[in-house]
Amino acid sequence: MFKVFGILLLAACPAAAGFLLAGAKSKRIAQLQAALVLLGALEQYISYETATLSEITYKLKEDARFRVLGLSMLDTHRRDAAAALCACFQDNPALCLEQQDVQLLCDCCSNLGATDTDGQIRHCQMYRQALEQRLEEQRSVCRQKSRLYRSLGVFAGLFCAVLFC
């Protein structure tokens, strides 16, 4: 009885690892999409409202669309709202974003409020284009590797089960 349970557990562990790796790739896609929506919301707030950057970051914190990015943990009481946004991205262990993604978001946030409204809008559009490119790259990687991770996990588990039977 315990041998059968052990073999099943041995077969399930690599399969679960494969599914977890594939899930992390999908989670990164969702977070990149949320980051694109965030930059679009920043553009809209900058274009159509006369709010300060601190007021904008407070509105972003309250927006449910950005919970996947961890903006609910945003410290809106800091003087420098751009630094608070950047710190939120850098210090969030739940983000599956790569370091380059986080750096893009931090670069975008660090330059907010430095120029006039048109300059800030162009700035956000430039970073949105860069994130869109990274999102498309991640989608193609996800299509290729997610299936591979799941298959390798299942076959590694089956191989271990057969090996120890």
- What pLDDT, in 10s, does the model give residues 58-95? 888 888 888 888 887 777 666 688 888 888 888 888 88
Whether residue 40 is contained in a domain is answered as yes
Report which residue type is found at 63. D
Helix, strand, coil % over all residues of the chain, rounded to 5: 80, 0, 20
Average pLDDT for 137-141 = 89
**Residue 147 forms part of a structural domain:** no
Smallest CA-to-CA distance from 21 within 105, 141, 136 is with 141
Q: 122 is in which domain, residue-wise?
A: 29-138
For residue 76, the model assigns a pLDDT of: 64
Residue written as tokens 């991205």? Answer: 89
Does 128 reside within a domain?
yes
Stretch among 2-6, 40-44, 48-52 having the lowest mean pLDDT: 2-6
Please state whether 69 falls in left (phi above 0), alpha (psi between -120 and 50) or beta. Answer: alpha
Averaged over 128-148, what is the pLDDT? 89
Report how many domains make up the chain: 1
Task: Decide: pTM greater than 0.85.
Answer: no
